[in-house]
Amino acid sequence: MQKTALLCYLLLASLCIALAQNESHGMPRRARRRMRYRGLRKGSFANRRRNKQQQIKSPMPTASVPSIPLINIGGDITEVFDSLISLDGQESSYNVLPGKEGRCFANGMIMYDKAVWSPKPCLTCLCSKGKVVCDETLCHPLICHQTKIPKGECCPVCADIGTVYLISYILQSLGYSDTPEFSGDSPEPNDPSEPALQDRQTQNEKDELFKKEEKLFQLKKMNITDKENRRRKRIKSHKERKKQSHNDGKEEMGKKKAEEDKRRAYEEEELRIEKELKKEENEKPQHEHLEGIEDEEHEEEDILRGDVFRMPPHFPIPEPSIEIPPLPTGCSILDNTMTCINAKLTQIPPITEAELTSIELVGNAITSIPDAAFNGIPNLERIDLRKNNITSSGIGPQAFKILKNLQRLYMDGNALEHIPAGLPSTLEELKINENQLHAIDEDSFNGLKNLVTLELENNKLSEANVSPLAFQPLKSLSYLRLGRNKFRTIPQGLPHSIEELYLDHNQIEEITEVCFNRTENINVIVLRHNKLEESRIAPLAWINQQNLESIDLSYNKLYHVPSYLPKSLLHLVLIGNQIDRIPGFVFGHMKPGLEYLYLSFNKLDDEGIDPVSFYGAYHSLREMFLDHNQLKSVPLGIAEMRSLNFLRLNDNKIRAVPPERICRTRLDNEDEEEEEDDHEDDEDDGDSQLEHLHLEHNYINTRDLSPYAFSCVRSYSSVVLKPQKIK
């Protein structure tokens, strides 16, 4: 009997020791806590245990488990249980003694009944009566723009720090102070060993820390906004600052100083809050770590939460920047002018410098101007596109629409066939020389009421393809160049405002009476290198013009100086014709009188100049060129020209210079004073203005010259006599 009792006692002791060992070898507190922080999971065993504990005050709660996924990892069976019933109707606590029956086979290992393991991240499995029940972590949806999954975590977290703070603040204001719940973590059950006062102190400290972090975040945001605004203002108002006066400059400096002070205050406040946060973080463990187990809790929170809400208070936020495309190779910017001369460009570069007012793209290979070519530089006032390959079809209809300040457009040396459409009304100067223009319609210049200068030289224009109504919209045009085209007559419909007309290097043969009858302001007409004859110039073509002062008829087919010249004429150029005669009194009707007469490279001889050929110009002529003719003597009447300053008689056949032909003697002056009755000024008769005299390349023997021949010339060094031709 004693032996039996002793044996029972030993068995009972062995059983107690085994129970104690199994309990000591159970799952440690950290593992259990880590399992609790895996996140809110549908049908999770930890949630079931916590809910049961709240319902009944029992250390071993019981509840039915809802349907969860069931996977036999070791085999190929997959099924769903409606409920999971523990032994004796109680839920498993994940920490039980292994039994001999109900073992599971998973991943080549034998698992005992009620054993718990994690075969892969975010998956927890339980061996229940020989079958494996696995529970996958479910994550809460996040309300943020960007998410990320931290290393070692199952659920994503918000990557936008500002959004996290904002949502946390909203949850706190609604009474949800447990921020881990929002991030997808299961809330840790309250520890009954901790006093309620400590909970309230901890919560107050968290609230205070959150408020400071929120304040720092807002301060950062305001600072970044100020920086961005300052950067945009600096880029946008660069041009305006240059144009401001000295007083405006002082005011701008004051504004800059105020902004700098404000920014410095923000930085100081930010630094102060950061120091306070660091100080509180250093002191915080002394208040919270009442037990040694709290260190493990903080470590577990870092692992499970991914350190989302415990971010450093000084988080980096990238400063927004404005990306400015680099300048193309061979381009430079100086004083609001971008220069890309001979830079081998094939298109207009995408420039976004709003301050630019001028762009030079000369000598490139640009073929088109798309509609958005100048969108980044809308303040252009001058565009130079000379010597490119731009065609009319390559110019978009809205290419120039955005340029509200454009005044000058140069497109010489391209391949345009028509005037570009949609040119801005602010345009004042347009040059399309050396292109392929072969037509100008009545709508070609619509809207260009401010255009002053128009150059269309070296194209394929003629009176046949230029509409008589083409120039009517040009209300301000004063300078028109149509040289090197194929005109045979003066173009019709010239604008009333025209002042200078250039029609050189054409095929004009005739000037009719109606050519200039509506151009009352015309001042200069250039018709050199045409096919004009004096008989094809109508007598009333321009004689009544009141403002016409200069006519250039060089290199035509004139045989004598044209009659019926304008009354207001001051400047007459007849170089390179076949003129052999200057009719008498041809200048007599001009008032105030002709001042410049150029007759070089003609066929004038002594018989072609009458004694009264220069009548009406004696007191007005300042320059007269008679070089490269066939004169054998100095023409009569030169000595009467008291205002003459420059005389060219070189390259003729002159053999002698009598004293009275260029400079009158004193005796001649006295006789003329007695005989003249035309009310001429005596003082003018006695004073000569001649300063330059050319007589070289003649047949003059300088030894035979009279000492009084050049007495009226103001400086003998201005008389050019050498070299002379050999007889």
Average pLDDT of the residues in 270-290: 63
Catalogue the long-range contacts made by 458-462 (C-beta closer than 8 Å, 24 or more residues apart): 458/433, 458/434, 458/483, 458/484, 458/485, 459/432, 459/433, 459/434, 459/435, 459/484, 459/485, 460/436, 460/485, 460/486, 461/437, 461/485, 461/486, 461/487, 462/486, 462/487, 462/488
Please give the Cα distance from 717 to 386 (Å, whole number).
Answer: 46
pLDDT tens for each residue of 392-411: 999 999 999 999 999 999 99
Does the N-terminal peptide bond of residue 59 adopt cis geometry, omega within 30 degrees of 0? no
Whether the pLDDT of residue 296 is over 70: the answer is no
Return the higher-pLDDT residue of 383 and 131: 383
pLDDT tens for each residue of 8-32: 767 777 676 666 555 544 444 444 4
Whether the pLDDT of residue 92 is over 60: the answer is no
Position 487 confidence tier, pLDDT thresholds 50, 70, 90:
very high
Whether the pLDDT of residue 596 is over 80: the answer is yes
Q: How many helices (H) and strands (E) does the chain have?
A: 12, 26
Least confident of 210-219, 294-303, 713-722: 294-303
The structure tokens listed for 96 are 């039980």
Whether the pLDDT of residue 162 is over 80: the answer is no
**3-state secondary structure (DSSP) of residue 526:** strand
Write down the pLDDT at residue 509: 95
Write down the pLDDT at residue 26: 47
Q: Do 47 and 41 meet the contact criterion of CB atoms below 8 Å apart?
A: yes
Largest CA distance in the chain: 187
Write down the pLDDT at residue 119: 75
Q: Do 569 and 546 meet the contact criterion of CB atoms below 8 Å apart?
A: no
Whether the pLDDT of residue 274 is over 70: the answer is yes
**DSSP label at 102?**
S
Average pLDDT of the residues in 439-461: 96
Write down the pLDDT at residue 494: 94
Whether the pLDDT of residue 239 is over 70: the answer is no
Please give the Cα distance from 603 to 578 (Å, whole number).
Answer: 6
Q: Is 196 exposed, middle or buried (0-12, 13-18, 19+ CB in 10 A)?
A: exposed
Position 116 confidence tier, pLDDT thresholds 50, 70, 90:
confident
Least confident of 191-205, 274-288, 368-382, 591-605: 191-205
Average pLDDT of the residues in 421-438: 96
Average pLDDT of the residues in 459-484: 96
C-alpha to C-alpha distances, 457 to 464, 469, 483, 485, nearest whole angstrom = 16, 19, 5, 7
Position 207 confidence tier, pLDDT thresholds 50, 70, 90:
low
The structure tokens listed for 188 are 């840790």
Q: Do 136 and 41 meet the contact criterion of CB atoms below 8 Å apart?
A: yes
The residue among 659, 666, 596, 601 whose CA lies nearest residue 631 is 601
Return the higher-pLDDT residue of 178 and 726: 726
Residue 550 forms beta bridges with which residues?
524, 571
Whether the pLDDT of residue 184 is over 70: the answer is no
Please, where are the H alpha helices in 1-147? 2-24, 29-36, 45-55
Q: Do 560 and 586 meet the contact criterion of CB atoms below 8 Å apart?
A: no
Q: What is the mean pLDDT of the chain?
A: 76
Average pLDDT of the residues in 286-296: 47
Least confident of 83-87, 513-517, 668-672: 83-87
Position 573 confidence tier, pLDDT thresholds 50, 70, 90:
very high
pLDDT tens for each residue of 672-718: 555 454 444 443 444 678 999 999 999 999 888 888 889 889 888 88
Write down the pLDDT at residue 131: 81
Sign, CA torsion 56/59/60/64: positive
Return the higher-pLDDT residue of 147 and 478: 478
Write down the pLDDT at residue 40: 40
Position 291 confidence tier, pLDDT thresholds 50, 70, 90:
very low
pLDDT tens for each residue of 258-271: 777 777 777 777 77
pLDDT tens for each residue of 581-590: 999 999 999 9
